[in-house]
Structure 1
């Protein structure tokens, strides 16, 4: 892997062996405009502003970039859904309320709140200008003049870094009126959320931005035609937008040299839990956990792997049998899970699966917005049953009850939070059913004062 030295030629083209998204992270004061421009920052913006917006949309579409927020929807295709006036079409009194003549908006989803997910926060801390440059290019491509970055309110340090970077971009002429003399105007607002996990769902995020309680909207209409303030809106994840400048700089063919055919490009994998060196690891899509563990120094203290999540707590669990599953959108799905946000939580043999599943379910119980009955009531009962089982007061029929409740939540909740909440339960029972049965057999006695944590096998 080559090391960038800050002396790249004026027409910088990334090398496939060079880190793309994380290449500036270890530099002193990497978050500053000076260091960003030293390593080719804002050169892609000059290229983009000299390109027709429709050609930028086609470039991103042809690159194969897919959303890095969990769903993996093709980014260029999402951009192409924004209605634009046809050549020669003019706004009149009769069509003035048509979507193509409404303002266009870009909203960046930086509300990183799912257990295990921790890639966007370090990106905004270490390299906020990559996000800002991506916002400017994306806004130009979809003809938007306003961008909102919706960031999780608890990460105050990242909010301050982002505010500082936005201010630097304004002072340098990258934001504001008549950017670089092109006549393109763009304002960016950094909006701090209030700590609701549900606002990571794009329509709940839009409601929150508009000053309402964050709850998911009925779709259709989709944000592409009726998003922020009922106007056409693109909602993309931080990592997705931060990837755009490198595609403009390097081109679609270069981007496709990394990853796999249907899931190209680099990806930030977040490793947490029982590994020697937890943290963020950039690698091509399709990298396996076995390879990532080698990069992270292996399992902590040499204790063998037991189970892990490929994409955060809302993705079905994997076991040590899945070490060689290609971690891209197709590979994870073919193995029975989802790539999600590539938040790999690694658990060794000391951890009880029912205990871990209970803790995740308690999170979803707390974070359910309450709008729909399956999620609101289902997570309440699932958490209650799991707590009772982990206290050693379960029965064998509880397992069937858990699966029955899960089936009534999956596919029936208003948004994907309900679907994600049942994933660790159903997959946990699928792979570790005996652990749940063992809890049913175990009855606490007065002589056993070790507490529910030990009874659950938690360490």
Structure 2
């Protein structure tokens, strides 16, 4: 795993002014423990927030900063915090950190938790103060064993220093923080499925409304934020909104910096903290180093397996949510994957859809039945045994499993890469149709996304 700030020609030093998330990282990759973290201005933001700001002022500061969720959805964090009830009698409130990082090609939160665990603890402490939450949980992907070990040590160190527990910093505010490891389910990245799992229930998404801010874990007001989101809070409190907004490139509608990266057959795969709005080509060529010798870029995904494929010419888009949306997909987690010219798109999509079908919670019919159906057809196309009409059927599934047609966003995310792959590389799918296959087709109304006509009904 590479964490670097090397540009094409010059070394770009990580500083508190330019790299609020990563400037404290050690060059040897070892974790930054309490004493070193404090020496690097750690918990100064928490002390400032407790001494100089009311909870409502912290909420307003985060809202004014324009900080958006870094887990993939990009919902404004301050707005989400503002949904928590104002009623002071509701004294049992929870703050949950979504650390169930199971998106393929994504490992940014893992880096923060393993190397800067106290940054997350401080971010949660300030956020809990703002939300008046008395207890917090870090819901961690079970496979992140090292992250769990480091977070538990950081929690213990902070508690020993009087920064967690009872009467924190003499303010009368109490906050307990726990690390909870999950059993390894992709669907727990959805906040209400995470809440169900934390309660010991099956990890199915809940119907909304009511939203977690009103009825969350154990029926109490709850706020769920991503790891990287919470790690931005200390720098916003310390340095202010104008500074935070100034970090992004001109033209970006998103503020601050983002952990971005590239994987695949690139020369320098890794993660870098970079400003929103830089051209994706700069990330690919100057930081990831372009493709390895002997490989050409065929296409790329901007932020995880659940985002649509883009072509090499789309690298000229500005890398922020709105900029990526202009070329037809979502930024997602911001960790891109390069697909080289030796990869068959049918095989790649079959592998992806197998993952998504396996990770479906099975709660709603389109997702439970539609994703295995796509896998079956992709396997046939991969073997050259596809039937005429299979591609149209797949496009029909992309329609039926799209946004707003399933209980949560799992299925729409699963079929987005499928639809884009067929759009850009349809001949590779057509090559999988058996030459001697019959002339079986698909009803036109199914392709159009309408309910099929049942003869004799």
| Matching residue of 1:155 | 144
Distance across 2 between alignment mates of 1:280 and 1:34:
26
| Matching residue of 1:37 | 38
Partner SS for 2:214: helix
Distance across 1 between alignment mates of 2:240 and 2:214:
29
User: TM-score, normalising length from structure 1?
Assistant: 0.89
Q: Equivalent residues in 2 for 1:137-286 (5 A)? A: 137-259=126-248, 260-286=251-277
* Pair 1:336 & 2:337 matched: no
| Matching residue of 2:368 | 376
CA-CA distance at 1:267 after TM superposition: 0.2
Distance across 1 between alignment mates of 2:14 and 2:401:
49
Distance across 1 between alignment mates of 2:329 and 2:56:
35
Q: Equivalent residues in 2 for 1:50-449 (5 A)? A: 50=51, 51-85=53-87, 91=89, 101-259=90-248, 260-293=251-284, 294-301=286-293, 303-410=295-402, 411-440=404-433
Query: Is the 1:393–1:443 Cα contact (8 Å) retained in structure 2?
Result: no
Distance across 2 between alignment mates of 1:36 and 1:291:
31
Partner SS for 1:256: helix
Distance across 2 between alignment mates of 1:419 and 1:245:
34
User: TM-score, normalising length from structure 2?
Assistant: 0.89
CA-CA distance at 1:288 after TM superposition: 2.4
Distance across 2 between alignment mates of 1:61 and 1:305:
39
State how many pairs are aligned: 421
Which ranges in structure 2 are unaligned for 5 or more consecutive residues?
Answer: 1-10, 438-457
Distance across 1 between alignment mates of 2:230 and 2:211:
20
Query: Is the 2:95–2:222 Cα contact (8 Å) retained in structure 1?
Result: yes
Query: Is the 1:255–1:264 Cα contact (8 Å) retained in structure 2?
Result: yes
CA-CA distance at 1:39 after TM superposition: 1.3
**In the TM superposition, what whole-angstrom CA distance separates every residue of 1:158-205 from its partner, at most 9, and x where no partner exists?**
110111111111111110111111111100010000001111110000
CA-CA distance at 1:25 after TM superposition: 2.2
CA-CA distance at 1:147 after TM superposition: 0.4
CA-CA distance at 1:102 after TM superposition: 4.7
**In the TM superposition, what whole-angstrom CA distance separates every residue of 1:94-146 from its partner, at most 9, and x where no partner exists?**
xxxxxxx2511100000000111111001101101110000000000010010
Distance across 2 between alignment mates of 1:31 and 1:153:
22
Which ranges in structure 1 are unaligned for 5 or more consecutive residues?
Answer: 6-13, 92-100, 445-459
